[in-house]
Chains A and B, each alone.
Chain A
Amino acid sequence: MSAVLETTVPPVAVPERRPTWADVIQLARFEARQQLWFLPVFATLVLYVGYTVWRLLFPPDGMAAYPALQDVDRATQTGPLLLGIALFVCVNRAALRDRRRGTDRQVDAAPMEPWRRTLAHVLSVVPYAVLTALVVLGSFTWQALKPGAVGHGSPAELAVGPLCVLLFGALGVLAARLIPSSFAAPLLVVGLFAGALFLSAGTGDAPWSRWLSPVVTENSGDTLPSDLIGRPAAWHALYLTGLVLLAALGAVLAGGGQTRVLKAGLAGALALTLAGAVAQSGGDTPQLRAARERASVSPEKEQTCVRREGSTYCAFPEWTPRTATWAKVVDEVRSLAGGAAHTQPLLVRQRVEARYGLDSSSAFEPFADPHRVSVGAAWGGNRVPEFSAAVASVLVAGAEKKAGDMCDGRMVTVMWLALAWQDDPMQSLRNVRLDDSLSGSAIVLSPTNPLRMTAAQTDVVRELLGKPKGAVEAAVKAHWTELTAPKLTTADAARLLGAAVPKGGEDKCES
């Protein structure tokens, strides 16, 4: 006996749950976490953050203590490119995951539409862009807070790094939706590289093609006042923003999004990109060229001058805080000099060569007028003994132009004055010489024309720098007139200063 139970199961009304934006964000967070498991993304991320921190904590030379912020902002741009390339490949791979695993049918049955999933892939790059922005801002702030920092950074230049990360990620999704094949992404990177080379070689680096690249680097490492740099950074940031939106919205459109809002957004992004691309390709304006000419040829019209301890220091407005460090060097060198040079007022003028922009580095002409010293825009590290050598050579020879032709025993006086006051005179001697040597003849760098040292002069200077400073200083002050007289031989200089007289007579300067 068994009772047949006839019950009908009431149909369960499955609540139709439409996917919301919160779901998209949720999926994007998941995908962003997944990205970290890809070795290329993880490795480049660690490398990028690690290298940036390493460079901040252990700078390569003394110039890092005196950064110019208009250079610092640009220096943050190339690092994120690496992370961008890794993200391009890996986001592309994540966007093709269902296809590769054969689960696209199942996923298509899920309530979330393909375009929302595509959007989530695009949004999964955002945390990485935010991280890049934090690294960029952190490293810029670190540099800007240094007491020796001068100049102004540009927010548009700082935005390039994070925008590049976003752009590469969005391009990765776009590539996955347009060319759904596993081998396309790495090849596209190589193709983009070859295309960029072709464009730059084919157009001879015209401004319009140069600025199409996401990161635009400059040939010259020189520092210019920020109003003479002439990089259309703001337009370029707009262009990059347009490209990011174009790639992201294009990917969503290719992923099946068909709304009118999306198409309107795409048109807007295209307009933004075009506007940026056109505006950034203008090249240098006549006003900019005139301003550069003025700053290079007649800097006195642009500069502000400060008087310190009898000397005058003229600098471009952004560099005015640095006049104190220049004055310290001048005072140190003058205090070692004797005769009239001990109190000789000098005119120290900052010089830049801006006529060629940042295309090429160039030296400037030495001053012919007496008691004028040039100083460059960079400071710290080797620039200090170089400036010190220039000050000493002007005190001894009278003018920069004459100092360049100087090829006699006075070089001993100049080099001792320039280096004796420094913390580590031997290291400074090595740094100031072009070949970093401590013996033999060499070129001595200075802000304008280089000076020349013979092998005998090098030996005498090296011996003098090893002696107690006070004794040599007394000898320098006692024999100042002889030590600064033209045609002084190296042997005489050595004799006057109490050093061993070099054997083998007078030798010739390198030319």
Chain B
Amino acid sequence: MRELTRADAGRGEVRGLVRELAGPVFRTLPWRAVAAGSLLGLVAAAVPRLSDGAGGPWVALNLLRAAVLAHALALAFLLDDRARHTTAAVPTRRPLRAALRLAPVIPVTALWWTAALLLVPSSVRPPTGAVTLEAAAACALALAGAALAVRLSDEPRPGQSVAGALLVTAVLAVLLWPDRWPLFVAPGDPKWAGAHERWAWLLAAALLVLGACLPEPTHGRLRHRQPRRPLTPSGA
């Protein structure tokens, strides 16, 4: 009985914390980046409608992929936190703070994705479930990259590097992905189902990495490294 009440008390404490933290965390989210990425994504997704479906389903799918990439690039900035080094020592754990950062973005992403899908004319729209899987995997990869960068480096705002790496990786993947395991297939291709099975694996892997990278490292070698010696005597 006593154990239970302590757990209840702990849960209540977390609930209170969440209520207190939600507002400030919400304000520090990179809303401008998300807005820019989403807007650009919507513009890209609207191109087939503006050009009357010219280019057919293949062009529409690729534009939708570009839209997803734009949104994912914005999500790469989500875990940027100027106050990272100050908050490293607070009792509220990093997974909780990261979850608070993710929570408002997920419904925004879902809404945005619905709008983007609806913008594509139904005549050239690719199968909804499958592209949604691709979109989820791309967004999860961006977040996993951001979490990995936070975990492995001391940089409080690694978003820019993550976005750059994600962009170059995306371009390289489209060009160099081995044909034996197709990933970027056209709608109607017999390899479509197999490719989306691969996307599902990617999504799972990205979520695993994201989950594994969220806790604050307790004995990371990077964390306890000596601060870099200042370059100039004044330390500027």
Interface residues of A (CB under 8 A from B): 38-40, 43-44, 47, 82, 85-86, 89-90, 93, 100, 103, 106, 181-187, 189-191, 193-194, 197-198, 200-202, 204
Contacts and interface: CB of A to CB of B under 8 A. Distances in A.
Contacts of B166: 186
Interface stretch (B10-18, B167-175, B205-213): B167-175
A100 B59 CA distance: 37
A439 to B, nearest CB: 25
A55 B96 CA distance: 50
Given A82-B172, A181-B32, A183-B37, A89 B47 contact: no
A187 B70 contact: yes
Contacts of B66: 190, 193-194, 197
A85 B166 CA distance: 12
A106 B43 CA distance: 39
B168 to A, nearest CB: 4
A197 B236 contact: no
B236 A103 contact: yes
B203 interface: no
Interface in B42-87: 43-44, 47-48, 50-51, 54-55, 59, 62-63, 66-67, 69-70, 73-74, 76-77
Nearest to B48: A201
B69 A197 contact: no
B168 A202 contact: no
B167 A201 contact: no
Contacts of A187: 36-37, 40, 70, 73-74
Which of B77, B166, B172 has the largest number of chain A CB atoms within 10 A? B172
B150 interface: no
Which of B32, B62, B160, B165 has the largest number of chain A CB atoms within 10 A? B160
A89 B167 contact: yes
Given A44-B168, A89-B168, A103-B236, A202 B50 contact: yes
Contacts of B55: 197, 200-201
Closest 4 CB pairs of A and B: A194-B44, A183-B33, A201-B54, A89-B164
Interface residues of B, number: 39
Nearest to A190: B70
B111 to A, nearest CB: 19
B163 A186 contact: yes
B175 A194 contact: no
B155 to A, nearest CB: 10
B47 A201 contact: yes
Contacts of A202: 50-51, 54
B13 to A, nearest CB: 36
Contacts of B63: 194, 197
11 contacts: A40-B165, A43-B168, A47-B172, A86-B168, A181-B32, A186-B164, A194-B40, A194-B43, A194-B47, A194-B67, A201-B47
Nearest to A191: B40
A85 to B, nearest CB: 6
Given A44-B168, A197-B47, A182 B77 contact: yes
B121 interface: no
B160 A93 contact: yes
Nearest to A189: B167
B236 A106 contact: yes
B157 interface: yes
Contacts of B40: 187, 190-191, 194
Contacts of A47: 172
Contacts of B37: 183, 187
A183 B59 contact: no
B187 interface: no
B51 A198 contact: yes
B167 A186 contact: yes
A190 B69 contact: yes
